[in-house]
Structure 1
Amino acid sequence: MKRELLFGARALRQRSTLKLALWSVPEILPTAIYGVAVAHATDNFLAGRAWEGIAWLGGLVATACLGAAGAFQVYGRLGDLVEPLRDDLVRRVVGGALRTGDEAAVARVNRQVEIVRDTFAGLTLVIRSFAVTLVGVLVGLLSLAPMVAALVVPPFLLGFALSLAVLGMAADRVRASLQADEELAGAAGMAFSGVRDIAATGAEEFTERLVGRPIEAQAAAERSLAKVAALRMLCFAVGGWAPLLILLAAGPWLVGRGVSTGTLLGGLTYVLIGLQPALNTVMGALGESGLRYVVTLGRILDAAAPATPPRPMHEVNGYQLRLRGLTFAYGPNAEPVLEDLDLTVAEGEHLAVVGPSGIGKSTLAGLVCGMLAPTSGRLLLGGVPPSELSTERLAATRVLIPQEAYVFSGPLMENLTYLLPDASISEVSEAVEAVGAGRLVERLGGFDALVRPGDLSAGERQLIALARAYLSPAPLVVLDEATCFLDPEAERRAEEAFAARGGTLIVIAHRISSALRARRILVLDGNQAAIGDHQTLLRRSALYRELLGHWQPSAEQLRGEQLRGEQLRGEQLRGEQLRGSRRRDDQLRGGRLRGDQIQPAS
């Protein structure tokens, strides 16, 4: 809030502000004189001097005309003050869009900048009018009766000061209310999208607790706003009604000390016509337009701020994945999806993640790939949190294929080599055959065929994405139900290809058969987890037995899947040994190997 107020204050440091203030001076005169005019007119009428009383009222009309002329000039100078502010904001928005490619810049220029301009202009007029009224009333009261001023002005200023204090509290409560609304919308949307799964798994009570907390937080935020509104009414009572009550209560005392009836009536006029409306207007404007100004300007300044300098790149030591006390929740008051999860995935390991729908499997994939940040705990990829890796380094380390595979319009070859643009034809062909996409390539007309995503089925798009990921140099592959639209045989072929490819493979399983092909299996059950191989989990995890029971493989299928898993692990081990041998050969060709007295070739 301080930043937005300073921005508005800097906008007022112009010659236009001085002209605006000078043209406000004529408005002070009618404000200052109407109480005096009413007092003298009343005393003259009571004394039988009717024409003198009428003359005082005529003078009041004349000064009101002078004030109207000043107000006319004020509106003319307002544009000179507000339009430079708008131009500055437009430059900031456009500059930020050029730096960041912000797609929302058009909305900010067309709507948000106009909101700031209009609210800034309205607040300037209201605050100017309040200042004019306050100065005019103070001058009039001091000239009329200093004792009346001493009774009226202090409680008025106290009420205004209290309203400013409440304004800062109101801004915080409005932000909290907006955040509570967003969290409630997110929790409710998640629950509505999974109604069928919730009913199928009997998770109604868990969902009720999950959505109930944001509802309670949103209700608490609304109650806080109601309390702020009550405090604002109390501030107005102190500043607007207390001076009137004090003046009425002190009326006999003032009359006894020589204050005339007309003077007392003039003081009441200053309170009822001057101070009360001015305080009511400025409190309403600051509480509504002021908050809109602060919130909207804050969004513009945040979007137009220069990008923060990139963090220094951290060196990745391998690609081992370590999770220590990992906890993640969608919002500060939400139930954790993952809680205190400890897990180590060694280089070259094949891990399957299983669990009911909505249990957090895709959340775990997002955390592993750096798309989400842990709420607490640590997640290290090669000894470094993914959030501290540069985009290029992170992309070279892991590749994620979600359930909805991404395919863009263009040549098939560009789709396949998106993650390895300099791949050769033989490498692309090997990847296509490995994942079982050969027939699809033939049907499309070869690598030079044009691909239109709308003409492909979901399974065909997954095959193209699988071939792209297989071709990627990233040593860590995460398949987040990336084969769910393939038949079981095509799924088996694709997963076996990635297992034999080398590197680390994490499969968010769509079918329990994927778990039987993995070296280890992670079972997510609420915010609990169990990990082990197939036989271990059969003994220790009731949820794993339940998931396995839904699939119900035959004994021959079970033995076949386990046998293929052992064969794949043997092929993967031989591949790792072969790559190690090749690295040693490269070291020997490049120079002397320490400990072996082998000189480089001359």
Structure 2
Amino acid sequence: MTRPGVRHETWRAVRAHRRELTRLCGWSLVESLPALLSGYLIARAVDQGFLAGRPVTGLTWLGALAVAVLLGATATGRTYRSLGAVVEPFRDDLATRVVRNALHDATRTGGHPDSATVTRLTHQVEIVRDTFAGLLMVTRGFVFSAGAALIGLLALAPTVAALAAAPMLVGLAIFLAALPAMVAHQRAYVRAGEHLGQSAATALTGHRDVLACGAQARVTADVQRRVSAQAATERTLARMAAIRSLSLGIGGWLPLVALLAATPWLVDRGLTAGAVLGALIYVSTGLQPALHTLVQGIGGGGLRYVVTLENILRTNPHTTAAHPPAPAARTPTHRSSAAPAIEARRLTFRYGPRSRPVLEDFSLTLADGEHLAVVGPSGAGKSTLAALIAGLTPPQAGTVHLAGEPVADTTPAALARMRVLVPQEAYIFTGRLADNLRYLRPDADDHTLDTALDALGARPLATRLGGLAAPITPTLLSSGERQLIAAVRAWLAPAPLVILDEATCHLDPALEATVEHAFAHRPGSLIVIAHRISSAIRAQRLLVLDGDEPATGTHEQLLSRSATYRQLVGCWDEPAMSPPAPRA
């Protein structure tokens, strides 16, 4: 019925919560008491009570049935509580996987935000949660309800149990035999709908080009082909529904017909009227509803569960399996003062096996406490270099050491203590301003925060927002305001290396100069991906990336020997901003 991934995930979810599942089965057993006792107690009420002229006895048996119904109703509420203890952790695990993979894809170098993540999280994961819960309920309902009814039939008369069980098993076998085909056709139906949506969207968004090229007939034929394919899958699903109806007719209604037809023969062999009535009750209120619920539940929600979970597992593979932790992972050790802040050796990185390398055989050494500006045209590899140094992206060749420690063998938590990378798109979360500033340094007191705000020129912004305790909403802040808050947060971080990847591009030149001056006088090393000539001039050393041979040197040196740098300086026509004068 299911592919290995779906079977594995389902079994893992069930096995991980065996205790809760056992509790669910226990309450299901209590819930099935009316199904177990109904036919037997009604048969006794009829035979020993009402037909025997003893109505009090008959009412007593019916009272016992009422008690069983009350117990079953109480257990029903408990089953849903136990069901949640199994289903909700499974849902949370899927949601975590979707979010983790979306964040990994969005934050890796060359990655991009996945606009379908919210859809998968709020729609597909919820479908899996609901259908998984439905499958558990219908499966345990069939097992306990049908089992209780069969036990009750055996208690009345084994012959009656055989008459009812035989057609039910035939109907169930027909359904189970058709189930793999149902899954395949449901999968084809979903994919046909996706292909139709993609085809229609492409035709609508490019309708002007279609008209300009005279391709109306071709595009219409393509969309019509997708429509026909989806219609064919819907007709196939309708035939599958007919098979479900056939299995229900054989397994649910044929036992009633068999019992009614065999009633004279059963009565001739000593079966009482109460037993016949009890047998009909077991079939009509036990076996038939249980089979109907199972077939409809698996044939509907079960198919959606398999197909939707397949899609989630396909687009969100288990990251721990694909990327096992490095066996030599370690935290940084004490280093000598001579160790450079960054030592990159012969780095090579490309975004595809056949693509041109963004960086090839590249080397760089940054002394402890040095201020480096990286410049170059768009696409030269500036952000790629920042990601390689920060350890966010592994190179195809070469090594990176931070303070003497190999980035490839250092744990993410240890890397976070060694460097801070501030991207162009600043991340600010909803909450207090102080909480955003303390994100990388939770132990910072208010005085430390005030010092940082003053050093980076962010005091007017903090005052305008309402102070450190003021709640902030990221969508209500401008891009420059978000960048300034992120810069203060990075300045407070204990990491000795800060990488600003165009992290001040939305600030005005004067405020940018204040921010970079604060970072330049902060203990540690600084790399600035520059977008203004003023940022380059303020640096102690510059690195020019132009797709060929990288060049390093001071501003004056590069003006004389780097044509790329001279061209960039010519494009940056704003005046150089000098660092602010030190405070008295």
Q: Indicate the TM-score class for this superposition, using the shorter chain for normalisation.
A: 0.5 to 0.7
| Matching residue of 1:396 | 356
Amino acid at match of 1:304: P
| Matching residue of 2:36 | 32
| Matching residue of 2:265 | 253
The structure whose Rg is larger is 1
For the Cα contact (< 8 Å) 2:138–2:297, is it kept in 1? Answer: yes
For the Cα contact (< 8 Å) 2:189–2:234, is it kept in 1? Answer: yes
**5 Å matches for 1:312-323?**
none
Any idea what SS the aligned residue of 1:391 has?
coil
Alignment partner of 1:215 is 2:234:
no
The alpha carbon displacement at 1:59 in A equals 1.3
**5 Å matches for 1:409-558?**
411=531, 419=547, 422=550, 445-446=572-573
Task: Return the alpha-carbon distance in structure 2 between the equivalents of residues 26 and 78 of structure 1.
Answer: 15
| Matching residue of 1:277 | 289
| Matching residue of 2:242 | 230
CA 1:50–1:397 in 2, change beyond 3 Å: closer, same or farther? Answer: same
Choose which of 10, 13, 17 in structure 2 pairs with 1:11.
13
For the Cα contact (< 8 Å) 1:412–1:448, is it kept in 2? Answer: no
Task: Return the alpha-carbon distance in structure 2 between the equivalents of residues 192 and 100 of structure 1.
Answer: 29
Any idea what SS the aligned residue of 2:227 has?
helix
For the Cα contact (< 8 Å) 1:26–1:66, is it kept in 2? Answer: yes
TM-score, structure 1 as length reference: 0.52
The alpha carbon displacement at 1:75 in A equals 3.0
For the Cα contact (< 8 Å) 1:162–1:235, is it kept in 2? Answer: yes
CA offset digits 1:59-112 (Å, max 9, x no partner):
111122222333333333333323433443344345444654484556555554
**5 Å matches for 1:27-106?**
27-43=31-47, 44-97=49-102, 99-101=104-106, 103-104=113-114
Task: Return the alpha-carbon distance in structure 2 between the equivalents of residues 142 and 122 of structure 1.
Answer: 29
| Matching residue of 2:365 | none
The alpha carbon displacement at 1:283 in A equals 2.1
Amino acid at match of 1:395: S
Task: Return the alpha-carbon distance in structure 2 between the equivalents of residues 246 and 418 of structure 1.
Answer: 86
The alpha carbon displacement at 1:16 in A equals 1.8
Task: Return the alpha-carbon distance in structure 1 between the equivalents of residues 94 and 41 of structure 2.
Answer: 46
Task: Return the alpha-carbon distance in structure 1 between the equivalents of residues 274 and 25 of structure 2.
Answer: 32
**5 Å matches for 1:299-314?**
299-302=311-314, 303-306=316-319
For the Cα contact (< 8 Å) 1:28–1:135, is it kept in 2? Answer: no
The alpha carbon displacement at 1:188 in A equals 2.9
Alignment partner of 1:206 is 2:218:
yes
TM-score, structure 2 as length reference: 0.53
The alpha carbon displacement at 1:246 in A equals 1.5
Amino acid at match of 2:188: A
Any idea what SS the aligned residue of 2:319 has?
coil
Task: Return the alpha-carbon distance in structure 2 between the equivalents of residues 427 and 169 of structure 1.
Answer: 71
CA 1:309–1:421 in 2, change beyond 3 Å: closer, same or farther? Answer: farther
CA 1:262–1:299 in 2, change beyond 3 Å: closer, same or farther? Answer: same
Alignment partner of 1:118 is 2:130:
yes
Choose which of 168, 175, 196 in structure 2 pairs with 1:163.
175
Task: Return the alpha-carbon distance in structure 2 between the equivalents of residues 282 and 242 of structure 1.
Answer: 17
CA 1:125–1:207 in 2, change beyond 3 Å: closer, same or farther? Answer: closer
| Matching residue of 1:147 | 159
| Matching residue of 1:175 | 187
CA 1:41–1:397 in 2, change beyond 3 Å: closer, same or farther? Answer: same
The alpha carbon displacement at 1:432 in A equals 11
Any idea what SS the aligned residue of 1:395 has?
coil
Any idea what SS the aligned residue of 1:188 has?
helix
The alpha carbon displacement at 1:141 in A equals 0.1
| Matching residue of 2:429 | none
Task: Return the alpha-carbon distance in structure 2 between the equivalents of residues 158 and 418 of structure 1.
Answer: 74
Any idea what SS the aligned residue of 1:207 has?
helix
Amino acid at match of 1:211: V
The alpha carbon displacement at 1:206 in A equals 3.3
The alpha carbon displacement at 1:29 in A equals 2.6
**5 Å matches for 1:351-430?**
391=351, 393-396=353-356, 411=531, 419=547, 422=550
Amino acid at match of 1:306: T
CA 1:87–1:421 in 2, change beyond 3 Å: closer, same or farther? Answer: farther
Task: Return the alpha-carbon distance in structure 1 between the equivalents of residues 23 and 166 of structure 2.
Answer: 30
CA 1:82–1:217 in 2, change beyond 3 Å: closer, same or farther? Answer: closer
Task: Return the alpha-carbon distance in structure 2 between the equivalents of residues 94 and 78 of structure 1.
Answer: 25
For the Cα contact (< 8 Å) 2:120–2:312, is it kept in 1? Answer: yes
Task: Return the alpha-carbon distance in structure 2 between the equivalents of residues 253 and 197 of structure 1.
Answer: 78
CA offset digits 1:332-353 (Å, max 9, x no partner):
xxxxxxxxxxxxxxxxxxxxxx
Amino acid at match of 2:42: V
CA 1:66–1:107 in 2, change beyond 3 Å: closer, same or farther? Answer: same
The alpha carbon displacement at 1:237 in A equals 1.0
Amino acid at match of 1:243: P
Amino acid at match of 1:292: R
The alpha carbon displacement at 1:296 in A equals 3.2
For the Cα contact (< 8 Å) 1:152–1:246, is it kept in 2? Answer: yes
For the Cα contact (< 8 Å) 2:350–2:357, is it kept in 1? Answer: no
For the Cα contact (< 8 Å) 1:28–1:132, is it kept in 2? Answer: yes
Calculate percent identity across the aligned residue pairs.
Answer: 41
